Structure 1
């Protein structure tokens, strides 16, 4: 269960951290974790229930991932080592790579997870070469080469960010005279390049997988690899790689909340402040568009957000969780050592104190603190709205589902919801994987079973100007839209959980088009059921339609008018704009890592009424700070309203509370005779 935690006194998440403060934070993490090192030092097995891959992998992860933090500290201090890190990790290296040692590591040939950890070990051995590798005995050096060499020619690496684990290991092996394959490196670089998307983004593989891996893996490794001794291919790639990173960072900095919080979206959230890694990568790569002072501010405020929320806990250890421990956030591959991939967010410590990222004048304001903004990110299909009044960044999602168009799998609450923010978490309890109940549009059968939308088709993602009296251009709105072949799912609950939606047997339910018009704290969500698939012969049929809003979580839930709930200072509101809909709020226990109680406003077609087909229904969905000053952008006060200018309802105007208007032409219904 989620433990009730008092609201923290925000410091670092608002002001950032100095190098000295960040170093002390890192040293505290290392000191606490190394208390759990095995006698030889090769395994760091943190307390808690073993992960899905077993204790041997947990211990290797604990070594390799804390080695990242130790290596950054050694590199940034030019080898100065008051914690005796080099000697301790060298001893662990000698034992872990000795095939006859009782505390040897599981090898890359024995378990795939060792391929991930091998990359961290190789990366730090290269980064700290004078203080660890060069001081190893020839016997230990040979052991290390033998251990790492198992990856050469291995064609079982997943087609995603994992390609970098082989690139990094083989690059190090080449630099020390070990075996390596030019074909492996060329193939992996080509795979990486195939993941490039518009606007500096990467997809984590061939699916629509847009998440923190874009920054803490696919942008990070090219920058660190280019500094490795054996990275001879890097020079020809540097200009393109840096330009892609530079463009991505302009979006990524805009996705940080005013309290330093990153988006609670995507898998591996237990890595927490690893979300700071791409900003340090930008500093190392000397990107031209973002100043070193702003990169420092972004990175240290992300780390500081978690420090402000008592991460680590009283024992100094990182747990499986977000702020406090919350085991349901883990995927199958998550073990007790896994959270220490957060060490990537400490990468700035590898840069010496006289580096520009530490000496440049501070830029104390993040984009969300400067002005209210609305943007569209083409690759992930997100409308982004940031508001200074409450410091919250929201994304409304019509392009990401960790799948490909046309599949009929389940909705992952980490990817396929219609909205994510820096101040809320999607519902992540067990039921959330089979019954979308927040930030969703679903059809319901007689038993209340909800449909899924994964495999949807994105229709539109663009900015539309708003007008004010007398017809002058005002702040823009974002319009994003998608159409889904809604389906019920008999889910395979025994399938491995890697963050994507559950596989299973899909049963067609109908076709649903959803359009979101986003401005400030508000989203106008227009929904049209285009076709309902007939039931019969044991197949379910749709009896109702449900539209749900933001989940808010905390120790207590305050209920307002119908469709309104407040928790942890955040208000979630859903206002029906169509007479056919009725609003309510559902409450759930222990459904997110942000508090023991959660609430979600929703609206349904009135009981007993049929599901309207071919007709637009609309709601206004709000997420705003409960104490934000009144005004249209923060959402305090009346909800927006809409009016239609044609009989079909395809031509609508949104009237915002500040008097601005946005005209939107909704997509016409496509003929789908096969669905009749």
Structure 2
């Protein structure tokens, strides 16, 4: 049985993509529009910028500090890129805000580092730009204000409460600035932070954001951007030593993968937390140009950054007020983390880092080079996160089969985060992000579901599906134009704890193991043959009480793109249905997920065929698989063949 559908086209269409490359004037004009929109919401003393919108989880005062610090990032790039010429208004505005921010008697002063942990994050942006704009802002500040700034940053020294994630760079950047202006700093802190960063290094230039399998946009917009910018700070030379060459080499290797993760329409991969930062995903391409990486050309880097930023610019970002909202294209608050406030999205400023490069920088004259997906179809493995990536030129869609990323530790039986632990993600679809999605994996999942609840309304929470967090990566490989990724996990149900920290990870709770599930994704172009095998039933579990449920690609009606999703059973006994969720995706009001249900046959491989393609694509009814205990022999829609040795994925 199969299910396939293409949503009806909406009445309105997005503006057509630009037919010419952005000039530097286009970039600076877009930056100035964002700055003007935000600066209009400054406090009387300009120490805080608080755009309209729902108050963030950390309160109004933090919201205002975020607004100042994150727009200061963009203002600093503009000021430095013009070498201080013709940007007097920005210099004056933010200088006044700094004086107010560190004035203990000002009503709109900054929240201090010892008052709230979020101030430690924002302090890094303040310190970075104070260093970058030193001749035009810091050097012109009066002595009392400079003394107060040093006092504001000083609590970072010796503070061991910074989370062991990308936050290490917030302490390191602040202390480096302090060192450059004669303030306190700790060599031990610096050494510890650099060692922590090095502990995050993984294969092929990738880094994990902490000890968990946390691979997402933070790899680029935090863990790769800060080493390069930090090395250029006045106080960093002796501290960096000979590190820079290694950091740039890692960045260079990472960028060779990163350019494959952008869709033909410029959309970044919709995967990972903090997606409200939107085009911050362009930041690593600009920092690659700044660092002069050897393997990705300036033209390719600029074009990649432009595709990402213009994807949003052409679709109403910022809004008619010139503001970045909490959402993806339009405002959609559910995409934000619990702590996010109305100014949080302005970390998107990092994606406009290119305006830091002056008009005479060679990046602006370099001939643009197309993205990999614009050049042709491809398949690529990325080892560290356990991804196999496919791109198809005809529809511009980039997809990943995910078998190594879950934002969890290897032995942590927690709930699946929809942002990390699904089996696949793409540049054209979003995971479901309503409340039910955190409790019950549906789209892009293979799960065990109690037979008594199968087929009921998933939106009512009546299906108890197993989770896959703590998966074990088995393989990422390619064979010609096909790729194979595989993982195995203890499929477990979860009773969530009443109190949760909703920062992107899956839910904590009491886990009960049902069985072992092993899944192999064989991907080729727009198609996937997905193989699944249930083994090792837990004591007291009867296979007849459970169904094997497959969830396909989620399809949301969008103004700017139409896609086709199909899911078809390739082994006997499957029944097809469609689950529809409302207000579950930042891409639109209604999302449909094709679903297959099948009986559990312990120890036997089952298979399904998935398709994600453009609206004019007709899903194949001829792709099939012949299965034995040892081999999967696949015949694709065009007659090509792939063979997978299943003995590689048999753990019991």
TM-score by length of structure 2 reads 0.94
- Choose 324-333 or 438-447, whichever is displaced more: 438-447
Q: Which residue of 1 aligns with 2:339?
A: 333
- Counterparts of 1:162-561 in structure 2, within 5 Å, are 162-232=167-237, 233-363=239-369, 365-445=370-450, 446-447=452-453, 448-465=463-480, 476-535=481-540, 542-554=545-557
Q: Which residue of 1 aligns with 2:5?
A: none
> Is the 2:72–2:94 Cα contact (8 Å) retained in structure 1?
yes
Q: Which residue of 2 aligns with 1:638?
A: 621
- Counterparts of 1:19-98 in structure 2, within 5 Å, are 19-82=24-87, 84-98=89-103
> Is the 1:509–1:541 Cα contact (8 Å) retained in structure 2?
no
Partner secondary structure for residue 205 of structure 1:
coil
Distance in 2 (CA, whole Å) between partners of 1:391 and 1:98 is 51
What is the deviation of 1:627? 2.0
Cα RMSD between the aligned structures?
Answer: 1.7
> Is the 1:17–1:301 Cα contact (8 Å) retained in structure 2?
no
Does 2:646 match 1:657?
no
Distance in 1 (CA, whole Å) between partners of 2:338 and 2:543 is 32
Partner secondary structure for residue 527 of structure 1:
strand
> Is the 1:246–1:282 Cα contact (8 Å) retained in structure 2?
yes
The match for 1:591 among 552, 559, 584 is 584
The match for 2:614 among 615, 622, 625 is 625
Distance in 2 (CA, whole Å) between partners of 1:23 and 1:101 is 32
Q: Which residue of 1 aligns with 2:457?
A: none
> Is the 1:532–1:542 Cα contact (8 Å) retained in structure 2?
no
What is the deviation of 1:80? 1.9
RCO higher in 1 or 2 (8 Å CA, sep ≥ 6)? 2
The match for 1:600 among 578, 593, 602 is 593
> Is the 2:566–2:619 Cα contact (8 Å) retained in structure 1?
no
Partner secondary structure for residue 526 of structure 1:
strand
What is the deviation of 1:390? 0.4
> Is the 1:512–1:529 Cα contact (8 Å) retained in structure 2?
yes
Partner secondary structure for residue 60 of structure 1:
helix
1:595-629 C-alpha deviation (Å, 9 max, x unpaired): 10101111001xxxx5211111100011000125x
1:170-223 C-alpha deviation (Å, 9 max, x unpaired): 111111111111111110000001101101111001110000000000000001
What is the deviation of 1:636? 4.8
> Is the 2:490–2:514 Cα contact (8 Å) retained in structure 1?
yes
- Counterparts of 1:120-131 in structure 2, within 5 Å, are 120-131=125-136
Q: Which residue of 2 aligns with 1:472?
A: none
The match for 2:166 among 161, 164, 168 is 161
What is the deviation of 1:494? 2.5
> Is the 2:543–2:600 Cα contact (8 Å) retained in structure 1?
no
Distance in 1 (CA, whole Å) between partners of 2:633 and 2:650 is 22
Does 2:575 match 1:582?
yes
> Is the 1:534–1:541 Cα contact (8 Å) retained in structure 2?
no
Q: CA 1:333–1:267 in structure 2 vs 1: closer, same or farther (change >3 Å)?
A: same
The match for 1:612 among 596, 601, 611 is 601
Q: CA 1:281–1:555 in structure 2 vs 1: closer, same or farther (change >3 Å)?
A: closer
What is the deviation of 1:153? 0.5
**Structure 2: 5+ residue stretches without partners:** 1-9, 454-462
Partner secondary structure for residue 84 of structure 1:
helix
Partner secondary structure for residue 419 of structure 2:
coil
- Choose 161-170 or 81-90, whichever is displaced more: 81-90
Distance in 2 (CA, whole Å) between partners of 1:555 and 1:120 is 35
Distance in 2 (CA, whole Å) between partners of 1:542 and 1:366 is 48
TM-score by length of structure 1 reads 0.91
Q: CA 1:231–1:668 in structure 2 vs 1: closer, same or farther (change >3 Å)?
A: closer
> Is the 2:494–2:510 Cα contact (8 Å) retained in structure 1?
yes
> Is the 1:16–1:301 Cα contact (8 Å) retained in structure 2?
no
What is the deviation of 1:7? 2.9
What is the deviation of 1:124? 0.3
1:218-267 C-alpha deviation (Å, 9 max, x unpaired): 00000101110000222410110110000000000111111111000000
> Is the 2:260–2:373 Cα contact (8 Å) retained in structure 1?
yes
What is the deviation of 1:357? 1.2
Distance in 2 (CA, whole Å) between partners of 1:328 and 1:337 is 15
Distance in 2 (CA, whole Å) between partners of 1:5 and 1:310 is 17
- Choose 96-105 or 160-169, whichever is displaced more: 96-105
> Is the 1:320–1:329 Cα contact (8 Å) retained in structure 2?
yes
